Amino acid sequence: MYGFEAMTFNIHGGYLEAIVRGHRAGLLTATDYNNLCQCETLDDIKMHLSATEYGPYLQNEPSPLHTTTIVEKCTLKLVDEYKHMLCQATEPLSTFLEYITYGHMIDNVVLIVTGTLHERDVQELLEKCHPLGMFDSIATLAVAQNMRELYRLVLVDTPLAPYFSECITSEDLDDMNIEIMRNTLYKAYLEDFYKFCQKLGGATAEIMSDLLAFEADRRAVNITINSIGTELTRDDRRKLYSNFGLLYPYGHEELAVCEDIDQVRGAMEKYPPYQSIFSKLSYGESQMLDKAFYEEEVKRLCLAFEQQFHYGVFFAYMRLREQEIRNLMWISECVAQNQKSRVHDSVVFIF
Amino acid sequence: MGDRGGGCCPPMDLFRSEAMQLVQLIIPMESAHLTVSYLGDLGLIQFKDLNSDKSPFQRTYAAQIKRCGEMARKLRFFKEQMLKAGFSPSAKSLGETNIGFDDLEVKLGELEAELVEMNANGDKLQRGYNELLEYKLVLQKAGEFFTSAQRSATAQQREMESQQMGDRTLETPLLREQETATDLSKQVKLGFISGLVPREKSMAFERILFRATRGNVFLKQVPAEEPITDPVSGEKMEKNVFVVFYSGERAKNKILKICEAFGANRYPFAEDLGKQALMITEVSGRISELKTTIDAGLLQRDNLLRTIGDQFEEWNLKVKKEKSIYHTLNMLSLDVTKKCLVAEGWSPVFATKQIQEALQRAAFDSNSQVGAIFQVLHTRESPPTYFRTNKFTSAFQEIVDAYGVAKYQEANPGVYTIVTFPFLFAVMFGDWGHGICLLLATLYFIVREKKLSSQKLGDITEMTFGGRYVIMMMSLFSIYTGLVYNEFFSVPFELFGRSAYACRDLSCRDATTVGLIKVRDTYPFGVDPAWHGSRSELPFLNSLKMKMSILLGVAQMNLGIILSYFNAIFFRNSLNMIFLNSLFGYLSFLIIVKWCTGSQADLYHILIYMFLSPTDELGENQLFPGQKITQGFSSNLIFLCISFQQVLLLLALVSVPWMLLPKPFLLKRQHENRHQGQSYAPLESTDETLLSVANHDSHGHDHEEFEFSEVFVHQLIHTIEFVLGAVSNTASYLRLWALSLAHSELSVVFYEKVLLLAWGYNNIIILIVGIIVFIFATVGVLLIMETLSAFLHALRLHWVEFQNKFYEGDGYKFYPFSFALLDDEDD
């Protein structure tokens, strides 16, 4: 397979690869971020964004803006682009593109279920869902009382159904359960996606396995850190780690027994790629870990564009755009709440 | 550079771009807005962005721009509303009613608020109305299946009872029924919910209901015939009326949640028939009530929109103008004292007076104490290129600009393109029948010019319309060349007298030309019609067209070289045209001589042997005395034995190093001289230069390091390109012949194989079909496709063969700040 995708890739994928590379050129640059960080009001942000690709999406918004409007409109742009690409895609690219959205689907399911558990209004919850992860009967999730019902009523029709095999229990839903469900689903999803990419072979497999392995490892670290001090047993924790990635299997063994953040650090520093991430943090600190991981991810995603004839660019583009929207959200929030000093805390420059 | 253009040659608008100057305006703050507005009306100055390092919202007038953006948004909102309501903003302008910027903003705000409120009210009413409509539908449909169910149930019951009780039923039917009814209500408490669900979701709805209640529901659905407006989204969609029967409170809760999740609107429904009828009449009454209210609201809204529509265009223009004014103001730099703005920009020299007038007018009108200061700056930056074109020349200028915008004051091929482009096209498209067709088509555009230019056309039509004058010229020239080729849809006519040839005897219908004898004077204009259809037609026309294309090509390339000579004089550079002319000029010369003398010499032979064996005898191929033999009358002994041809060959060979060598050395010397000159610069101009240097530090210098090797290599490449280009470009002009041949042959094929063939059958239907096919083939293939291909080839000949001789095309266009251009930017 290696090296030969260049011969046939462009028959089906060439157009879309060109499209996605064109979209990538529209990502905000460091100068854009610098300008955005200097904005005084949300209107300033709107004005600056109107000179970028977000312009048409924001220009018809009446003036007292809210952060949510900005984020909503920017997400809308991403969704429009995604839909356009999905319309044009043929197999196996269309399946690949659909895989990208499953993560959002899991998040949406968890969001709705948690929301109904806390007796929020369904409509309000629906508005908070990521539009990429919507499916037809998502609102019906509110009806379900336990995992089994959840599966039997709604999820059996969705692409998430196969991932559910491990978490069908009759237990009533509670916060802990839901969180475990999210991670189990995610694990199954990542493994499935990984397998799918391996099946595609060629440069796609090579690049995607790297990106997905990073994702899996990051989730493993996050699960570990978040489960420290909870009643989650070591074996249960171990079960939530995805069965691939750089940390698999020996790193997982070590992570499973970690009791505090410094032990996690000790376990991770044995792996050179992660050593550089942890070396940026001071001991006992986990706040900045997210940002460090995001930065590393963005770096890897950008590298995916260096190679041609593979599907990794689509994944990378979607992820970069999402990161950009996160950045915009953070900047707008900081501007709206007059916390401009903290603006650089969470912004990850893409270029 | 600016003052050099006017001196040497008479003013030629199109040949050299307008002389430009960099001007500096110092405008007092209070009159800035008016000044820029007047300058925008004038449209002859291109402002430079002096604040390019600042982001948009850090600039002086960011707030105003934001306000303009907000107003533009409101106007877009109005437009959208008007389109929704179904009328377009009227194009009539009521003249300039001078409404102030601030007043306009307030007014727009008020109107928007009013409109939004009206819309909200209208939406509320509409929603209620739609709900009632849905309700009515539910009542009707659900009522239908309740009654039908009841009917079948009673029928069943009757059947059962009649089976059970036989003839006794006749006696006490009423009591029985009552009893069974009360029994039913006691036994099972079946509740039901009725409503509407979108049709595409109905399957999923049914499935989920089934799963959630483990099949313990009964769902009945009836599709509503016509699409219904959904009260929530306000969109028309197909819906199903449903009734769900369930038992138990838990099931009810679940069903309610599912209904909510699916966006199914529920409506209360009474089982009782009488109540149903009552509700239907009540609902109908309310519907008609609401309808009148909504209509009244709509009328009011339409009135409001109409008043907006009357002034919409004016406001829109006003807002656009304001926005562009503030954009321009943002490009000006603020003086230290914050009392005046400093503007820099390019303007044509001829506009100086107009600009100054505008400045004075602005100062006067804004009651400013100080007028704006206008001064010309000196700079080394190359100015933008500006050609004053009219509607006729602009299309031709665009053909040139598409290749590259001319360097400032470079010789502009656009002037010559006006004639050469249509002419070269016509050489390939020579047929006066087709030419007339094209002319008619383009005359249609030209006659309706006024009307068409104001409306939006399709992509292709727009392009054709833009090039209408080009096409007109092309068609005129094709009529001319068509007359020269003597072809009218490939049929020759004896327009200019009778053919010069006639048959030797009477029975020679398709005789060759050899069988003909010349009986009259030579045919006065164009090709003799007798050639047509003869056996030697093709060789004759080929030879004619081939030689003609070479002549045209050499002529055009010579024109290019002459232009480069003009450029060289203008920019004080140096160069040469010996090479091309010593070979191909000679060939052209030979062709003309041959035509004039009627010799039968073989030109290939002459030219090839000129290279291979320059000293051999020419024999029968000799065209004129002295071509080969010594020029005896020359007194110089050395030249005695060198023939004319050898002189030319020698010249060609010498011209190569002549092209290559002197230029780099000359440049080097110039450079050295300049450097020397610099160290002893005259003192008088120092003040000015200091000033301009101070002002234009950022403008960059073109005093680069002079590298001899680089210039030399550049010149080497240029020389090689020129020598090879001379050969290949001349060959390239043969496309004129090839396309012209293809065109005439194609039209012959269509004429003979379609029209004449159909004619030959003597059948009216076949004839009609034949004519239709002929018309379509002529229009589709010859008029459209051939026009395109000939156009493209003419374009190539201009861009590649002609313009590479002299045209740099690395300038940039002059984009003045002008209100007249605002409309074009409209999305």
In A, minimum Cα distance to B205 occurs at: A137
CA distance B75 to chain A (A): 10
A residues 29-48 lying closer than 8 A (beta carbon) to B? 35, 38-40, 43-44, 47-48
Bridging pattern class, strands B239-247 and B218-223:
antiparallel
Instruction: Name which of B211, B212, B261 is nearest A139 (Cβ-Cβ).
Output: B261
- The 10s digit of each residue's pLDDT in A308-320 is 888 999 999 999 9
- The 10s digit of each residue's pLDDT in A13-62 is 889 999 999 999 888 888 888 888 888 888 888 888 888 888 888 887 87
Bridging pattern class, strands B239-247 and B190-198:
antiparallel
Instruction: Say how many CB pairs under 8 Å bridge A and B.
Output: 64
> A27 with A350: CB under 8 angstroms?
yes
B/e letters for A48-80, b = 16+ CB within 10 Å, e = fewer, are bbeeeebeebbeebeeebebebbbebbbebbee
Question: CA-CA distance, B606 to A170, in Å (whole number)?
Answer: 102
Verify whether the Cβ–Cβ distance B261 to A142 is below 8 Å.
yes
CA distance B725 to chain A (A): 37
Verify whether the Cβ–Cβ distance B260 to A154 is below 8 Å.
no
Question: CA-CA distance, B172 to B24, in Å (whole number)?
Answer: 111
Verify whether the Cβ–Cβ distance B211 to A152 is below 8 Å.
yes
CA distance B321 to chain A (A): 18
Q: Which of B586, B518, B612 is nearest to B726 (CA)?
A: B586
Verify whether the Cβ–Cβ distance B262 to A43 is below 8 Å.
no
Q: What is the largest CA-CA distance in chain B?
A: 153
Question: CA-CA distance, B587 to A325, in Å (whole number)?
Answer: 70
**Residue B9: per-residue pLDDT:** 43
In A, minimum Cα distance to B256 occurs at: A143
B residues 341-370 lying closer than 8 A (beta carbon) to A? none
Verify whether the Cβ–Cβ distance A47 to B201 is below 8 Å.
no
Q: Hey, is the C-beta of B402 within 8 angstroms of any chain A C-beta?
A: no
**CA terminus-to-terminus distance, chain A:** 32
DSSP state of A119: T
Question: CA-CA distance, A122 to A100, in Å (whole number)?
Answer: 25
**CA terminus-to-terminus distance, chain B:** 38
- The 10s digit of each residue's pLDDT in A52-96 is 888 888 887 877 788 888 899 999 999 999 999 999 998 889 999
Chosen from B81, B117, B197, B211 to mutate, greatest number of chain A CBs within 10 A: B211
In A, minimum Cα distance to B210 occurs at: A153
In B, minimum Cα distance to A35 occurs at: B55
Strand locations in B3-138 (E): 20-28, 46-47
Chosen from B49, B51, B57, B73 to mutate, greatest number of chain A CBs within 10 A: B57
Question: Residue A229 pLDDT > 90, yes or no?
Answer: no
The chain-wide mean pLDDT, for chain A, equals 85
Class in CATH terms, B17-47+336-384+815-826: alpha beta
Verify whether the Cβ–Cβ distance A50 to B66 is below 8 Å.
no
Tokens representing A44?
């300033």
Please give the model's pTM, rounded to 2 decimal places. Answer: 0.68
Q: With contacts defined as CB-CB under 8 Å, which chain B residues touch A122?
A: 257, 260-261
In A, minimum Cα distance to B213 occurs at: A153
SS (H, E, C) B644-710: HHHHHHHHHHHHHHHHHCHHHHHHHHHHHHHHHHHHCCCHHHHHHHHHHHHHCHHHCCCCCCCCHHH
**Residue B644: per-residue pLDDT:** 62
**Residue B591: per-residue pLDDT:** 64
Question: Residue A194 pLDDT > 90, yes or no?
Answer: yes
Verify whether the Cβ–Cβ distance A62 to B69 is below 8 Å.
no
Q: Along chain B (827 residues), what's the average pLDDT of each consecutive run of 10 residues?
A: 39 72 84 84 84 74 82 85 76 60 82 86 85 81 76 76 56 48 52 81 80 79 78 77 81 80 76 78 87 87 84 83 85 77 86 86 81 81 83 84 84 86 90 90 87 76 84 91 86 77 62 63 78 77 84 83 76 55 62 59 58 52 48 37 59 66 68 57 44 42 60 77 79 90 89 85 87 89 89 91 82 84 58
Tokens representing B365?
């009108």
Verify whether the Cβ–Cβ distance B66 to A47 is below 8 Å.
yes
Instruction: Name which of A48, A60, A137 is nearest B55 (Cβ-Cβ).
Output: A48
B/e letters for B615-653, b = 16+ CB within 10 Å, e = fewer, are eeebeebebeeebbeeeeeeeeeeeeebbbbeebbebbe
In B, minimum Cα distance to A32 occurs at: B55
Q: With contacts defined as CB-CB under 8 Å, which chain A residues touch B258?
A: 140, 143
Q: Hey, is the C-beta of B77 within 8 angstroms of any chain A C-beta?
A: yes
Angle between helices B786-796 and B735-750 (to 10 degrees): 170
Tokens representing B611?
């290279």
- Phi, psi of B528, rounded to the nearest 5 degrees: -60, 130
Verify whether the Cβ–Cβ distance B260 to A139 is below 8 Å.
yes
Question: What is the helix (H) or strand (E) element at residue B243, kind and residue range?
Answer: strand B239-247
Cβ neighbours of residue A167 under 8 Å, at least 6 residues apart? Answer: A147, A180, A181, A184, A185
Question: CA-CA distance, A259 to B557, in Å (whole number)?
Answer: 85
Interface ipTM: 0.71
Instruction: Name which of A44, A140, A152 is nearest B57 (Cβ-Cβ).
Output: A44
Q: Hey, is the C-beta of A339 within 8 angstroms of any chain B C-beta?
A: no
Verify whether the Cβ–Cβ distance A48 to B57 is below 8 Å.
yes
Q: With contacts defined as CB-CB under 8 Å, which chain A residues touch B255?
A: none
Instruction: Name which of B55, B58, B260 is nearest A122 (Cβ-Cβ).
Output: B260
The domain ranges of chain B are 17-47+336-384+815-826, 392-617+638-668+710-805
> B405 with B384: CB under 8 angstroms?
no
> B738 with B416: CB under 8 angstroms?
no
**Residue B179: per-residue pLDDT:** 46
Verify whether the Cβ–Cβ distance B57 to A40 is below 8 Å.
yes
**Mean predicted confidence (pLDDT) in A269-292:** 79
Q: Hey, is the C-beta of A63 within 8 angstroms of any chain B C-beta?
A: yes
**Residue B698: per-residue pLDDT:** 41
CA distance B25 to chain A (A): 28
Q: With contacts defined as CB-CB under 8 Å, which chain B residues touch A40?
A: 57
Q: With contacts defined as CB-CB under 8 Å, which chain B residues touch A37?
A: none
Instruction: Name which of A48, A60, A143 is nearest B73 (Cβ-Cβ).
Output: A60
In B, minimum Cα distance to A149 occurs at: B212
In A, minimum Cα distance to B56 occurs at: A48
Question: CA-CA distance, B230 to A205, in Å (whole number)?
Answer: 47
Chosen from A137, A145, A155, A156 to mutate, greatest number of chain B CBs within 10 A: A137
Question: CA-CA distance, B538 to A347, in Å (whole number)?
Answer: 76
Verify whether the Cβ–Cβ distance A51 to B262 is below 8 Å.
no
Q: What is the largest CA-CA distance in chain A?
A: 55
CA distance A243 to chain B (A): 34
The answer to whether the peptide bond before residue B268 is cis (omega within 30 degrees of 0) is no
Q: Hey, is the C-beta of B252 within 8 angstroms of any chain A C-beta?
A: no
